[in-house]
Structure 1
Amino acid sequence: MLKKKIIKKTAETEVTFEFAQKGIKSVSLVADFNQWQPVTMKYHKKDKAFRTKAKLPGDGAFHFRYLLDDKVWENDHNADDYVPNPYGSDNSVVFTGIKK
């Protein structure tokens, strides 16, 4: 799940990335904005979900995927779009932007 908060002062968008699925022990966010390096998402017991935040430039489109238990790739079912990647699957896409 994606949640977005526009920060007008800095022309950025704070995006909260969230993933929940039973039986998963770890989730990493892997994205073009972090040079495709896995970033471990923190587990929140209260709502049984993994979550992390990122501040992204406004008016952009950013590709990302989730890596589950260091072996299974998954997309965000609430992504703004999906685009094919060179590995025969799709990347999730999040759009950022400043409302005028």
Structure 2
Amino acid sequence: MLERKPRKDSTAVTFTLPADVPAGPVSVVGDFNGWTPGAHQLKGRKGGMRAVTVNLPSGQRHAFRYLAAGGYWFDDDTADAHDGRNGHIHT
């Protein structure tokens, strides 16, 4: 699930997943972090969820995917769009 909070010159985007699906560590990777695994790892939160918040420039389109343990890549069904390879979010 994606949540957005507009800020003065950016948009705070929170990427949220269940705490245990998939099992193990999960990172959100995208054009905003050079597709670097581990740069934005989701951390546990109350209520059985895990999340990470990333500040992104407003008025842009950003490509992203999730990377889980064992090299398992997957998409976010709540992304604004999908191009067959990545999800996209508009800020």
TM-score (norm 1): 0.79
Listed as ranges, the gaps of 5+ residues in structure 2 are none
Shift of 1:16: 0.3
Moved over 3 A (4+): none
1:19 Cα deviation after fit: 1.6
Q: Deviations over 1:11-68 (max 9, x none)?
A: 2100001122535111111111000001321122x32222100111111000000011
What does residue range 12-27 of structure 1 map to in structure 2 within 5 Å?
Answer: 12-20=10-18, 21-22=20-21, 24-27=23-26
In structure 1, list runs of 5 or more residues that go unmatched.
Answer: 85-89
Native 8 Å contact 1:26 1:70 kept in 2: no
**CA shift in 2, pair 1:48/1:62, >3 Å:** same
The 3-state SS of whatever aligns with 2:59 is: coil
CA contact (8 A) 1:27 1:50 kept: no
Count residues in correspondence.
88
Q: Which residue of 2 aligns with 1:33?
A: 32
1:72 aligns to what?
72
Distance of 1:5 and 1:56 partners within structure 2: 10
Name the Cα RMSD after superposition: 1.4
